[in-house]
Structure 1
Amino acid sequence: MATVDAIDSAEAIARDVAAIGRISAVPALLKVICQNTGMGFAAVARVTNGTWTACAVEDTIAFGLLPGGQLEVNTTLCSESRMARQPVVIDRASTDPVYFNHHTPRMYNIESYISVPIIHTNGDYFGNLCAIDPRPAVVSDPRVVAMFTAFADLIARQLENEERQERTESALQSERATAELREEFIAVLGHDLRNPLSAVSATAELLVRRQSEPDLVKLGTRLKASTRRMSALIDDVLDFARTRLGSGVGLSIREADFLASGLMDVVEEVRAANPLLDVRASIAINGAVRCDQGRIQQVLSNLLGNAVAHGAPDRPIAVRAAIEGDHLLLSVTNGGTPIPPDDLPKIFQPYWRPAHSKPGGGLGLGLYIASEIVAGHGGTLQVTSCASEGTRFLVTLPVA
């Protein structure tokens, strides 16, 4: 529960005055009130136990209040309306049986007066929609009171919309800040892991060279495979952090004269790491292709990694690359259980992994990074999956 001091603080009052100021319909509503009642002053007032503050004003009688201006709350009839949570309506104060001797009409020299509460749907009291004039006016007409009530309800609903929007924007800003901090942390962590990983890799290389000790060679071989996998994961994490932090995946596009052999190197690495799998390759690229060769190799590596992880181990994995017309087509196809149709739109999302994925199967960034690299080249990455044809990822890149 907010304290009285907090409710009536300068910051709270300024915030509410600004909120009313953002409701574009309020000036028009106040003009309509004056035109339909013949009264010269109308206002939206913020009213608490301790303060009365004008938030919006239509003044044709030089009453002298501007938005942000204040009156002593006990000198106003809005305080009575607030306590009763009912409208106060006076056609002619000097002859009114209740208000003919009231201090408010006499203090402000007014004859006609109407004040209707502005109450939120949760019961919180904001203030009043009110109008005054030194001349009498027929404001007790039910149609006039109904108009004020409808306008007061409209203002209350608009204030609630403003508050919801402000909360939503604040939550989004907080979420963005959290996401940026998390991704900066990921980027720093990935970078800092490089040095210890290099040390582990060097140790693995030394063990592999101990040909006289087969057990150490086996240990070194496994350690090398693990460091390659960790290095690939770090690469994906760093690339992901760069895209999220706005710098995008770094590309160095130039004429690549040996793309075919570069792609074949990737295939051979996968074959060496998975000797029991049947990885078939048909790579026919004649001439130079304008691209970032290292990044295209990364795309193929990620697609092959996905095929190894999710394809059937007794079905071949097919890699095909060729230039057709003005485009380079690169595809990876594997057999096995098809990707469910509902999952197809999700597979290029970061951190997404199918429900049947095995623990430790990766971060779910490989396909996302591949799609970002392809998009950076002005190309497309598409996927089709069915039981008869298998799962096929197709990269289409412009060659010039």
Structure 2
Amino acid sequence: MSVLEANFQADIDAVNGIEAVQSILEVVTRTTGMGFSAVARVTPDRWITCAVRDEVDFGLKPGDELVIETTICHEIRQNHQPVVIDHVAADEVYANHHTPAMYGLQSYISVPIMLKDGRFFGTLCAIDPKPAKINNPETIGMFKLFADLIAFYLDAAEQVARSQARLREEQETAELREQFIAILGHDLRNPVAAISNVAQLLLRMPLEDRVKRLATIAQDSTYRIKGLIDNILDFASGRLGGGISLSRKNSEPVEDILNHVIAELRLIWPERVIEAKFNITEAVNCDGTRIAQLFSNLLSNALTHGQKGTQVNVDVFSDGEDFKLCVTNSGKKIPDIAMEHLFKPFARGSVAPGQQGLGLGLFISAEIARAHGGTIEVSSSDVKTCFTLQMPVKYGLV
């Protein structure tokens, strides 16, 4: 099947996909008393039947074709005006026209089907070998109404088809992009780990102050890069359908895990004070690595956006039911409009130079909390901002 034939078949399918078409053709034949009615697709060089009602054995069925020059629809395509003939033999214009003579017609009506963008699709027509009283405002109005209705459905179907094609294309593009991100993030882990190991080895050696500072910068940078890679991979995994994966343990050493994160960030922010208070009376069922990732995102966020020279407070609590982790920093209130988008991917709000990021940290943190059956809430005032993780201490509790 050629591309042109495929396009015509799509037009035939589109017309027959309109449930009302057969009802329209039935109303047309019964109202006018004419035995044949059809919806035709008409182009400069083709006339093809899309839908038909034939009670006079004219012989056409959907997909059949007439030579375009032998039809009156060829003229309608050119001037976009209806043609209505009560009695061919008595009509001054069409009495000697080749089309009625060729097909044995005495009554004929055809109205153009115009799409919303002005394109001519074809015609709604009816014919009969006997005369019929159709050249009146009521019949012509009915045909125009039905032609407009068919055009409306065709426009709607075309719009749906375009939207579906666009959606498929966007989905394919998004999947390729996310697969690329996942592969890239995975391949970046090894060189980043190698740089981190070299930096750690250098810091264990007796070095000049300048070299030690450079090694410290390299170590701090790899820590940030690793966090970005983890967030990218988690985001790509979530979007590709895998979601945030967990490896739970019944009694994770949560306090040790969180203290390790605090120690790492104190190295990166030596000028800032991080005050931590723990009151863990119940073992927590969780994925310690994921909780560390979540906490690192929250604490880094507090250190980045909190007021310089002020303390960041970490309060950790657990009882028989809940585990709570609160990270509080001093500083300006988060604007209401930013609060609405904090936990959405790539939402960064207003950031100062040097504070830019991908805007995935809070989104990933919220997803980790959700995977644990918990939530992250935020409160912000002119004095302080507090992010609070709350989740059940036992697996399956909500």
Aligned to 1:47: 42
- Superposition deviation, residue 88 in structure 1: 0.8
- 1:351 equivalent in alignment to 2:350: no
Aligned to 1:395: 389
In the TM superposition, what whole-angstrom CA distance separates every residue of 1:228-279 from its partner, at most 9, and x where no partner exists? 1111111111111111111112211231341222122222322232122122
C-alpha distance 49-269 of structure 1, shift in aligned 2 (>3 A)? same
Q: How does 1:1-400 map to 2 (within 5 A)?
A: 9-324=4-319, 326-359=321-354, 361-388=356-383, 390-400=384-394
C-alpha distance 169-148 of structure 1, shift in aligned 2 (>3 A)? same
CA contact 1:129–1:152 (8 Å) conserved in 2: yes
CA RMSD of superposed structures (Å): 2.0
C-alpha distance 109-191 of structure 1, shift in aligned 2 (>3 A)? same
Secondary structure in structure 1 of the residue aligned to 2:337? coil
C-alpha distance 156-212 of structure 1, shift in aligned 2 (>3 A)? closer
User: Partners in 1 of 2:271 and 2:196 — Cα distance?
Assistant: 24
User: Partners in 2 of 1:231 and 1:257 — Cα distance?
Assistant: 23
C-alpha distance 302-26 of structure 1, shift in aligned 2 (>3 A)? same
C-alpha distance 62-280 of structure 1, shift in aligned 2 (>3 A)? farther
Q: For structure 1, which segment, 80-89 or 302-311, has the greater mean C-alpha deviation from structure 2 after superposition?
A: 80-89
- Superposition deviation, residue 23 in structure 1: 2.5
**Paired residue type of 2:322:** H
Secondary structure in structure 2 of the residue aligned to 1:342? helix
User: Partners in 2 of 1:121 and 1:372 — Cα distance?
Assistant: 45
User: Partners in 2 of 1:378 and 1:39 — Cα distance?
Assistant: 69
User: Partners in 2 of 1:104 and 1:42 — Cα distance?
Assistant: 16
C-alpha distance 337-52 of structure 1, shift in aligned 2 (>3 A)? same
User: Partners in 2 of 1:214 and 1:83 — Cα distance?
Assistant: 87
User: Partners in 2 of 1:379 and 1:305 — Cα distance?
Assistant: 21
- Superposition deviation, residue 154 in structure 1: 2.2
User: Partners in 2 of 1:77 and 1:224 — Cα distance?
Assistant: 82
**Paired residue type of 2:388:** L
- Percentage of identical aligned residues: 45
- Superposition deviation, residue 111 in structure 1: 2.2
CA contact 1:260–1:284 (8 Å) conserved in 2: no
- Superposition deviation, residue 195 in structure 1: 2.0
CA contact 1:210–1:216 (8 Å) conserved in 2: no
**Paired residue type of 1:132:** I
In the TM superposition, what whole-angstrom CA distance separates every residue of 1:107-148 from its partner, at most 9, and x where no partner exists? 323322100011223332111111112232211111110111
C-alpha distance 24-391 of structure 1, shift in aligned 2 (>3 A)? farther
User: Partners in 2 of 1:86 and 1:37 — Cα distance?
Assistant: 20
Secondary structure in structure 2 of the residue aligned to 1:139? coil
Q: For structure 1, which segment, 105-114 or 289-298, has the greater mean C-alpha deviation from structure 2 after superposition?
A: 105-114
Unaligned 5+ residue runs, structure 2?
none
Secondary structure in structure 2 of the residue aligned to 1:392? strand
- Superposition deviation, residue 359 in structure 1: 4.0
CA contact 1:37–1:138 (8 Å) conserved in 2: yes
- Superposition deviation, residue 360 in structure 1: 5.2
**Paired residue type of 2:91:** D
- Superposition deviation, residue 162 in structure 1: 2.3
Secondary structure in structure 2 of the residue aligned to 1:228? helix
C-alpha distance 14-359 of structure 1, shift in aligned 2 (>3 A)? farther
User: Partners in 1 of 2:336 and 2:101 — Cα distance?
Assistant: 77
Secondary structure in structure 2 of the residue aligned to 1:57? strand
**Paired residue type of 1:352:** A
CA contact 2:21–2:51 (8 Å) conserved in 1: yes
TM-score (normalizing by structure 1): 0.92
Secondary structure in structure 2 of the residue aligned to 1:147? helix
C-alpha distance 11-280 of structure 1, shift in aligned 2 (>3 A)? same
- Superposition deviation, residue 176 in structure 1: 1.8
User: Partners in 1 of 2:352 and 2:53 — Cα distance?
Assistant: 66
Secondary structure in structure 1 of the residue aligned to 2:294? helix
C-alpha distance 399-61 of structure 1, shift in aligned 2 (>3 A)? farther
In the TM superposition, what whole-angstrom CA distance separates every residue of 1:179-202 from its partner, at most 9, and x where no partner exists? 211111111111111222122122
**Paired residue type of 2:389:** V
C-alpha distance 112-357 of structure 1, shift in aligned 2 (>3 A)? farther
User: Partners in 1 of 2:208 and 2:310 — Cα distance?
Assistant: 36
- Superposition deviation, residue 324 in structure 1: 4.8
**Paired residue type of 1:28:** S
- Superposition deviation, residue 94 in structure 1: 2.9
